[in-house]
Amino acid sequence: MKKWVLIFCVLMLSIVGCGKQDVAESYINTTFIVKERIEDTFDYKVINEIENKNSAQKIINIFKNVKWETNTERRMATEPDYRMNNYAIWITPNGDRLEIINKDNSNYVRLTLEKSAELFKVMTRNELKSR
């Protein structure tokens, strides 16, 4: 009996281990749709559709390698400046950093200056400029 339980456990672990998909892999075939808020409205317009694997991989790497605050309740003063798939993105008041909330799980991150500039460039094809 113990032998069968052990075999069952090993089999289940191997199935679960093989079935686990890395977060980055789940976005590989995803198109990132970037929408920008139309000034003084609650409406958004599509400004970029990121289908290029290199550009998509840059986004994935940024999101994968930052320290997200998990399950936070953040209340922002304004609507997001940008929306990208399930992410709401704000430019900080100084105009030099991005703050992001994952709408699926309420995770939050404020990117570094470098990562903000890199993500903004991929999203909009423009430079992030301080105000």
- DSSP output for 15-48: HHHHH---HHHHTTTPPEEEEEEPTTSS-EEEEE
Total structural domains within the chain: 1
Is 36 a member of any domain?
yes
- Domain span at residue 73 reads 32-124
pLDDT tens sequence for the chain (131 residues): 544 444 444 444 444 444 333 444 555 567 999 999 999 899 999 999 999 999 999 999 999 999 999 977 888 889 999 999 999 999 999 999 999 999 999 999 999 999 999 999 999 999 998 76
Q: Domain for residue 11, yes or no?
A: no
Residue 22 lies in a domain: no
Tell me, yes or no, whether 24 lies in a domain: no
Residues 55/95, Cβ–Cβ less than 8 Å = no
pTM of the model: 0.77
